[in-house]
């Protein structure tokens, strides 16, 4: 088996998650988070669209983690994000973390907004 060290450019990978928290770049964040090359911050959930819309032009895809189970995001939020030119992929938060890390290691222009599991 061949092992390759993964290196990340600007953004920090998701190191772990659990009940009510995410560990990103070695730092624990309680509750919902938004992470991208610009940094990691608390996210106010579906009603907090402004920081997501601010990523337009900076990223190609936004992963939205819906918590422990996959769920639909509000239609108004999806419409606003897509109207701003953001690709939106919705999945449960564990899958969003894994997918974010894989694409981050490939150097892709991505972000993740996730509700805690």
Beta strands in the chain (DSSP E): 14-18, 21-24, 27-30, 33-36, 39-42, 61-65, 87-91, 110-114
CA geometry: angle 64, 51, 114, nearest 5 deg: 25
Report the sign of the C-alpha dihedral through residues 50, 58, 6, 92, in that order: positive
The whole-chain average pLDDT of the chain stands at 94
pLDDT digits (tens, 9 = 90+) for 91-109: 999 999 999 999 999 999 9
The model's pTM is 0.91
The answer to which of 3-7, 51-55, 56-60, 110-114 has the lowest mean pLDDT is: 3-7
Q: Distance between CA 62 and CA 86 in Å, rounded? A: 7
| Helical H segments across 1-117, by residue range | 50-53, 75-83, 93-105
Q: What is the share, in percent, of the chain residues with pLDDT greater than 90?
A: 91
Average pLDDT over residues 7-16: 81
In the predicted model, is pLDDT for residue 8 greater than 70?
no
pLDDT at 10: 72
Domains and CATH numbers, the chain: 14-114 (3.40.1230.10)
Average pLDDT over residues 34-41: 96
């Amino acid at each position: 088996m061949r092992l390759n060290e993964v290196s990340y450019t600007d953004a920090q990978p998701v190191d772990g998650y659990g009940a009510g928290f995410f560990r990103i770049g070695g730092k624990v964040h309680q509750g919902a988070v938004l992470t991208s090359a610009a940094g990691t911050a608390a996210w106010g959930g579906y009603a907090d669209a402004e920081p997501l819309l601010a990523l337009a032009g900076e990223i190609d895809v936004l992963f939205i983690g819906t918590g422990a189970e996959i769920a639909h995001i509000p239609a108004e939020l999806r419409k606003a994000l897509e109207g701003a030119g953001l690709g939106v992929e919705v999945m449960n938060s564990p899958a969003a973390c894994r997918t974010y890390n894989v694409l981050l290691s490939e150097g892709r222009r991505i972000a993740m907004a996730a509700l805690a599991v």
